[in-house]
Amino acid sequence: MRLQGKVALVTGAAGGIGLATAELFDREGAIVVASDIEPPPKPYPSSIERVHHDVTSEEQWATVVGAIVKKHGRLDVLINNAGIIAYEPLDKLEMKEWLQMIAVDQTGVFLGMREAVRVMRKQQSGSIVNISSIWGTAAVAGAHSYHAAKGAVRNMSKNAAMTYVADGIRVNSVHPGFIHTPLTDAQEPKLNEAVIAMTPMKRGGKPLEIAYGCLYLASDEASYVTGIELNIDGGYLAQ
Protein backbone atom coordinates (compact mmCIF):
# COMPACT_ATOMS: atom_id res chain seq x y z
CA MET A 1 0.00 0.00 0.00
CA ARG A 2 2.70 2.44 -1.08
CA LEU A 3 0.18 5.11 -2.12
CA GLN A 4 -2.34 4.61 0.66
CA GLY A 5 -4.86 7.47 0.68
CA LYS A 6 -3.20 9.49 -2.07
CA VAL A 7 -5.39 10.95 -4.83
CA ALA A 8 -3.88 10.28 -8.26
CA LEU A 9 -4.87 11.32 -11.78
CA VAL A 10 -3.49 9.17 -14.61
CA THR A 11 -4.02 10.39 -18.17
CA GLY A 12 -4.05 8.17 -21.25
CA ALA A 13 -5.29 5.39 -19.00
CA ALA A 14 -7.38 3.40 -21.49
CA GLY A 15 -4.46 1.16 -22.41
CA GLY A 16 -0.75 0.51 -22.33
CA ILE A 17 1.36 2.33 -19.77
CA GLY A 18 -1.55 4.44 -18.49
CA LEU A 19 -3.77 1.44 -17.84
CA ALA A 20 -0.98 -0.49 -16.12
CA THR A 21 -0.19 2.56 -13.96
CA ALA A 22 -3.81 3.18 -12.99
CA GLU A 23 -4.33 -0.45 -12.00
CA LEU A 24 -1.03 -0.61 -10.07
CA PHE A 25 -1.80 2.60 -8.19
CA ASP A 26 -5.23 1.21 -7.32
CA ARG A 27 -3.65 -1.95 -5.90
CA GLU A 28 -1.21 0.21 -3.93
CA GLY A 29 -4.00 2.05 -2.12
CA ALA A 30 -4.42 5.25 -4.15
CA ILE A 31 -7.71 6.87 -5.04
CA VAL A 32 -7.29 6.69 -8.82
CA VAL A 33 -8.95 8.83 -11.45
CA ALA A 34 -8.23 7.35 -14.89
CA SER A 35 -8.70 9.73 -17.80
CA ASP A 36 -8.66 9.18 -21.55
CA ILE A 37 -10.37 10.37 -24.69
CA GLU A 38 -11.25 6.71 -25.39
CA PRO A 39 -12.90 4.12 -23.11
CA PRO A 40 -10.76 1.23 -21.82
CA PRO A 41 -11.07 -2.11 -23.64
CA LYS A 42 -12.67 -3.59 -20.55
CA PRO A 43 -14.18 -1.92 -17.47
CA TYR A 44 -11.85 -0.72 -14.75
CA PRO A 45 -12.12 -2.18 -11.26
CA SER A 46 -14.99 -0.44 -9.45
CA SER A 47 -12.50 1.39 -7.23
CA ILE A 48 -11.06 3.32 -10.21
CA GLU A 49 -12.93 6.41 -11.34
CA ARG A 50 -13.10 6.89 -15.11
CA VAL A 51 -13.41 10.30 -16.76
CA HIS A 52 -13.52 11.33 -20.41
CA HIS A 53 -10.67 13.76 -20.98
CA ASP A 54 -9.10 15.44 -24.00
CA VAL A 55 -5.70 16.57 -22.74
CA THR A 56 -5.42 19.21 -25.46
CA SER A 57 -8.40 21.10 -23.98
CA GLU A 58 -7.66 23.79 -21.44
CA GLU A 59 -11.30 23.76 -20.34
CA GLN A 60 -11.39 20.00 -19.81
CA TRP A 61 -8.23 20.08 -17.72
CA ALA A 62 -9.82 22.68 -15.43
CA THR A 63 -13.02 20.64 -15.23
CA VAL A 64 -11.31 17.32 -14.50
CA VAL A 65 -8.95 18.65 -11.82
CA GLY A 66 -11.68 20.83 -10.33
CA ALA A 67 -13.99 17.83 -9.99
CA ILE A 68 -11.25 15.78 -8.31
CA VAL A 69 -10.57 18.50 -5.75
CA LYS A 70 -14.28 19.05 -5.14
CA LYS A 71 -14.85 15.33 -4.50
CA HIS A 72 -11.62 14.34 -2.75
CA GLY A 73 -10.31 17.63 -1.41
CA ARG A 74 -6.86 17.33 -2.94
CA LEU A 75 -4.66 16.03 -5.76
CA ASP A 76 -1.48 14.30 -4.68
CA VAL A 77 -0.21 12.72 -7.89
CA LEU A 78 -0.44 13.54 -11.59
CA ILE A 79 0.84 11.08 -14.18
CA ASN A 80 0.98 12.92 -17.52
CA ASN A 81 0.97 9.87 -19.76
CA ALA A 82 -1.42 10.60 -22.65
CA GLY A 83 0.42 10.74 -25.95
CA ILE A 84 0.63 9.89 -29.63
CA ILE A 85 3.52 9.02 -31.93
CA ALA A 86 4.37 9.76 -35.56
CA TYR A 87 7.40 9.17 -37.75
CA GLU A 88 7.40 11.84 -40.47
CA PRO A 89 10.82 13.43 -41.12
CA LEU A 90 11.16 17.18 -41.07
CA ASP A 91 10.88 17.74 -44.83
CA LYS A 92 7.66 15.72 -45.12
CA LEU A 93 5.95 16.97 -41.97
CA GLU A 94 2.69 18.83 -42.58
CA MET A 95 1.67 21.69 -40.31
CA LYS A 96 -1.51 19.92 -39.15
CA GLU A 97 0.53 16.86 -38.12
CA TRP A 98 3.05 19.03 -36.28
CA LEU A 99 0.32 20.90 -34.43
CA GLN A 100 -1.47 17.70 -33.44
CA MET A 101 1.69 16.18 -31.98
CA ILE A 102 2.59 19.31 -30.04
CA ALA A 103 -1.00 19.67 -28.81
CA VAL A 104 -1.17 16.16 -27.34
CA ASP A 105 2.39 15.35 -26.29
CA GLN A 106 3.62 18.79 -25.18
CA THR A 107 0.72 21.18 -24.59
CA GLY A 108 -1.23 18.42 -22.82
CA VAL A 109 1.66 18.09 -20.36
CA PHE A 110 1.85 21.86 -19.89
CA LEU A 111 -1.88 22.14 -19.17
CA GLY A 112 -1.78 19.20 -16.77
CA MET A 113 1.18 20.51 -14.82
CA ARG A 114 -0.37 23.99 -14.62
CA GLU A 115 -3.65 22.72 -13.16
CA ALA A 116 -1.91 20.33 -10.79
CA VAL A 117 0.58 22.93 -9.56
CA ARG A 118 -2.23 25.35 -8.74
CA VAL A 119 -3.72 22.74 -6.41
CA MET A 120 -0.45 21.34 -5.05
CA ARG A 121 0.93 24.76 -4.10
CA LYS A 122 -2.04 25.24 -1.79
CA GLN A 123 -1.38 21.81 -0.29
CA GLN A 124 2.40 22.41 -0.20
CA SER A 125 2.85 18.87 -1.49
CA GLY A 126 2.50 16.76 -4.60
CA SER A 127 4.25 14.62 -7.19
CA ILE A 128 4.06 15.09 -10.96
CA VAL A 129 5.44 12.43 -13.30
CA ASN A 130 5.67 13.28 -17.00
CA ILE A 131 6.11 10.47 -19.50
CA SER A 132 8.77 11.45 -22.02
CA SER A 133 10.71 8.90 -24.09
CA ILE A 134 14.20 7.69 -24.94
CA TRP A 135 13.63 9.86 -28.01
CA GLY A 136 13.27 12.87 -25.76
CA THR A 137 16.98 12.41 -25.07
CA ALA A 138 18.47 10.55 -28.05
CA ALA A 139 17.56 10.78 -31.72
CA VAL A 140 16.83 8.51 -34.64
CA ALA A 141 16.11 9.48 -38.22
CA GLY A 142 12.59 10.79 -38.81
CA ALA A 143 9.90 11.26 -36.13
CA HIS A 144 10.71 14.98 -35.98
CA SER A 145 7.57 16.17 -34.19
CA TYR A 146 7.72 13.34 -31.65
CA HIS A 147 11.35 14.13 -30.83
CA ALA A 148 10.46 17.79 -30.46
CA ALA A 149 7.55 17.17 -28.11
CA LYS A 150 9.25 14.56 -25.93
CA GLY A 151 12.43 16.61 -25.71
CA ALA A 152 10.34 19.54 -24.55
CA VAL A 153 8.69 17.40 -21.87
CA ARG A 154 12.14 16.52 -20.54
CA ASN A 155 13.09 20.16 -19.95
CA MET A 156 9.60 21.29 -18.94
CA SER A 157 9.81 18.74 -16.13
CA LYS A 158 13.17 20.07 -14.92
CA ASN A 159 11.92 23.65 -15.06
CA ALA A 160 8.83 22.86 -13.00
CA ALA A 161 10.92 20.86 -10.55
CA MET A 162 13.17 23.85 -9.88
CA THR A 163 10.36 26.39 -9.90
CA TYR A 164 8.17 24.64 -7.33
CA VAL A 165 10.65 22.77 -5.16
CA ALA A 166 10.03 25.18 -2.27
CA ASP A 167 6.32 24.40 -2.48
CA GLY A 168 6.86 20.73 -1.70
CA ILE A 169 6.11 19.69 -5.30
CA ARG A 170 8.31 17.09 -6.96
CA VAL A 171 8.42 16.87 -10.76
CA ASN A 172 10.22 14.09 -12.63
CA SER A 173 10.19 12.58 -16.11
CA VAL A 174 10.15 8.93 -17.11
CA HIS A 175 11.80 7.88 -20.37
CA PRO A 176 10.54 4.52 -21.63
CA GLY A 177 12.31 2.58 -24.31
CA PHE A 178 10.33 0.34 -26.65
CA ILE A 179 7.27 -0.86 -24.74
CA HIS A 180 4.68 -3.35 -25.96
CA THR A 181 1.45 -1.32 -25.98
CA PRO A 182 -1.56 -1.02 -28.31
CA LEU A 183 0.23 2.01 -29.81
CA THR A 184 3.38 0.10 -30.74
CA ASP A 185 1.48 -3.08 -31.63
CA ALA A 186 -0.26 -1.08 -34.38
CA GLN A 187 3.08 -0.14 -35.96
CA GLU A 188 4.93 -1.95 -38.72
CA PRO A 189 6.59 -5.05 -37.21
CA LYS A 190 9.88 -4.21 -38.95
CA LEU A 191 9.97 -0.84 -37.18
CA ASN A 192 9.45 -2.46 -33.79
CA GLU A 193 12.05 -5.11 -34.53
CA ALA A 194 14.58 -2.43 -35.45
CA VAL A 195 14.17 -0.58 -32.14
CA ILE A 196 14.34 -3.82 -30.15
CA ALA A 197 17.50 -4.77 -32.04
CA MET A 198 19.10 -1.51 -30.84
CA THR A 199 18.11 -2.30 -27.24
CA PRO A 200 20.86 -4.08 -25.25
CA MET A 201 18.37 -6.36 -23.50
CA LYS A 202 17.03 -7.40 -26.92
CA ARG A 203 13.39 -7.28 -25.88
CA GLY A 204 10.58 -4.81 -25.55
CA GLY A 205 9.43 -3.67 -22.15
CA LYS A 206 6.11 -4.28 -20.46
CA PRO A 207 3.75 -1.45 -19.45
CA LEU A 208 3.94 -2.65 -15.86
CA GLU A 209 7.71 -2.10 -15.85
CA ILE A 210 7.09 1.58 -16.57
CA ALA A 211 4.23 1.70 -14.06
CA TYR A 212 6.56 0.57 -11.27
CA GLY A 213 8.88 3.48 -12.06
CA CYS A 214 5.94 5.85 -11.83
CA LEU A 215 4.92 4.23 -8.54
CA TYR A 216 8.32 4.94 -7.02
CA LEU A 217 8.32 8.58 -8.11
CA ALA A 218 4.73 9.09 -6.93
CA SER A 219 5.36 7.55 -3.52
CA ASP A 220 6.93 9.04 -0.41
CA GLU A 221 9.88 6.70 -1.02
CA ALA A 222 11.02 9.30 -3.56
CA SER A 223 10.66 12.23 -1.17
CA TYR A 224 14.24 13.39 -1.98
CA VAL A 225 13.86 12.98 -5.73
CA THR A 226 12.98 15.82 -8.08
CA GLY A 227 14.10 16.91 -11.53
CA ILE A 228 15.40 13.50 -12.59
CA GLU A 229 15.06 11.58 -15.84
CA LEU A 230 14.24 7.95 -15.02
CA ASN A 231 15.27 5.84 -18.01
CA ILE A 232 13.43 2.50 -18.21
CA ASP A 233 14.73 1.34 -21.54
CA GLY A 234 16.54 -1.99 -21.43
CA GLY A 235 19.87 -0.17 -21.54
CA TYR A 236 19.16 1.84 -24.72
CA LEU A 237 20.47 5.19 -23.46
CA ALA A 238 23.53 3.68 -21.79
CA GLN A 239 25.13 3.02 -25.17
- Please list the residues that pair with 149 across neighbouring strands: none
CA–CA distance, 184 with 36 (Å, rounded to integer): 18
Report which residue type is found at 108: G
44, 146, 164, 236: the catalytic one is 146
Residues of the chain by 3-state class (helix, strand, coil), percent to 5: 50, 15, 35
Q: What is the end-to-end Cα distance of the chain in Å, rounded?
A: 36
Helix (H) or strand (E) holding 174: strand 169-176
CA–CA distance, 150 with 156 (Å, rounded to integer): 10
Instruction: Residue 83: count other Cβ atoms within 10 Å of its Cβ.
Output: 25
Q: 44 catalytic, yes or no?
A: no
Supply φ then ψ for residue 38, to 5 degrees.
-115, 155
Catalytic residues: 146
